[in-house]
């Protein structure tokens, strides 16, 4: 089982590898480097970060400004993580299995791997893949509930960090490693605090609430215009906002059935952005950080292709496991299946991919808390019955 290491990382001496050179990874790498950390940046396709390597780093603007020198910019994963204390995975959640598979042979005892974010079940799936590929046991794997910043790429070697979130919860797998993980992360200037476990971080998946339904329900406009609108202010109308609130109520109920405290979407907006309003629509309209956010330019976008299979799908499966119906969430997944002509129920994060197949709800909580798998596991074959509207792609 992946567990506690013993190497202490001192503030100021921390070396960080950021895996992923997109909006999130660039914002994270630039911010940390400007805070004085030794940061390496890896991207699977080196051409996408070649200009950063030539420039010697990133030009950062927004809440922090300056030239962020990166010690390593590379498409070589082994080079990126060698000697690094902390490895932060900032790729779309659908890339977590690939990243776990390719990083496993190069991990070193004592390293911390933090998924930012894990979406729903990310760290659980990551641990499963690492175990299959014989990664060192003395590695801590955890996940953040969300990304710490709002950031966007502004040029070939520049990024804008427009918002730093006031608090982001994190948990390790198992939760008994969380305290040690946070102790190691003391050297990283991010506003992190402990969640109870990865069920809390995973079921507080706000992106799964905010992204798929507005994208799917505005598919005609998106395809006709090629985007060009504001996803939050334009696509989330009062009616769409009420639909999302129903999805969110189902998510919170699934968490409650597991004994997990989940923050409602409205409370999260108030906490993260000081939003005002009684409805989701009103809260979003009062959140100025979304003023300059655009929209997808096509349906081939992570708002569906990531947030459905790694957000809505596992939430629905976990709901079925614990006996909570999720009709609104399932309806949105089924619409996605029809719209994209694929079965997200089969390709998404199933209980098996999260290492939870055959477990009772009690066994799931024991596993995420302690890492122990109960000897007598309860098989629930009804979990695997097809959903009524699932698309048959065979």
CA 259 to chain centre: 22
Is residue 307 among the annotated active site residues? Answer: yes
Residue 136's closest CA among 335, 2, 271? 2
Q: Is 149 exposed, middle or buried (0-12, 13-18, 19+ CB in 10 A)?
A: buried
Q: How many CB atoms lie within 10 A of CB 298?
A: 9
User: CA 190, CA 196: separation in Å to the nearest integer?
Assistant: 19
Residue 363's closest CA among 199, 163, 180? 199
Catalytic residue, from 38, 59, 85, 307: name it.
307
Checking phi first, is residue 336 left (phi over 0); if not, alpha (psi -120 to 50) or beta?
alpha
Catalytic residue, from 96, 211, 231, 248: name it.
211
237-241 CB contacts, 8 Å cutoff, 24+ apart: 237/281, 238/279, 238/281, 240/213, 240/214, 241/279, 241/280, 241/281, 241/284
The answer for residues whose C-beta is within 8 angstroms of residue 316's C-beta and 6 or more apart is 326, 329, 330, 333, 387
Is residue 248 among the annotated active site residues? Answer: no
Instruction: Please report which helix (H) or strand (E) contains residue 241, including its range.
Output: helix 238-257
Q: Residues with catalytic annotation? A: 211, 307
């Amino acid at each position: 089982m992946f567990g506690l290491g013993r190497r202490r990382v001192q503030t100021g001496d921390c070396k960080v590898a950021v895996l992923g050179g997109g909006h999130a990874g660039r914002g994270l790498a630039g911010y940390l480097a400007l805070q004085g950390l030794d940061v390496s940046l890896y991207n699977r396709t080196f051409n996408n970060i070649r200009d950063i390597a030539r420039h010697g780093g990133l030009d950062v603007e927004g809440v922090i400004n300056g030239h962020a020198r990166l010690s390593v910019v590379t498409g070589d994963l082994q080079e990126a993580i060698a000697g690094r204390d902390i490895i932060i995975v900032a790729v779309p959640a659908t890339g977590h299995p690939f990243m776990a598979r390719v990083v496993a042979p190069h991990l070193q005892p004592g390293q911390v791997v933090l998924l930012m974010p894990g979406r729903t079940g990310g760290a659980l799936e990551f641990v499963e893949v690492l175990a299959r590929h014989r990664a060192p046991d003395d590695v801590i794997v955890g996940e953040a509930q969300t990304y710490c910043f709002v950031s966007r790429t502004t040029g070939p070697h520049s990024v804008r960090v427009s918002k730093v979130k006031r608090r982001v919860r994190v948990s390790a797998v198992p939760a008994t490693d969380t305290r040690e993980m946070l102790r190691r992360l003391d050297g990283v200037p991010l506003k992190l605090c402990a969640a109870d476990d990865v069920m809390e971080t995973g079921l507080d998946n706000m992106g799964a609430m905010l992204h798929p339904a507005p994208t799917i329900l505005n598919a005609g406009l998106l395809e006709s215009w090629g985007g060009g609108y504001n996803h939050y202010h334009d696509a989330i109308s009062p009616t769409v906002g009420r639909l999302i609130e129903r999805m969110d109520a189902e998510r919170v109920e699934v968490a409650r059935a597991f004994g997990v405290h989940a923050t409602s979407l409205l409370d999260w907006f108030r906490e993260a952005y000081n939003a005002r309003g009684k409805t989701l629509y009103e809260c979003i309209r009062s959140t100025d950080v979304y003023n300059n956010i655009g929209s997808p330019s096509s349906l081939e976008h992570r708002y569906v292709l990531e947030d459905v299979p790694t957000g809505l799908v596992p939430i629905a499966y976990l709901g079925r496991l614990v006996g909570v119906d999720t009709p609104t969430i399932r309806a949105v997944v089924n619409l996605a299946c029809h719209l994209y002509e694929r079965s997200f129920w089969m390709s998404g994060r199933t209980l098996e991919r999260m290492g939870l197949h055959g477990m009772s709800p009690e066994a799931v909580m024991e596993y995420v808390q302690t890492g122990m798998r109960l000897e007598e596991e309860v098989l629930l074959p009804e979990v695997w019955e097809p959903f009524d509207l699932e698309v048959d792609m065979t």
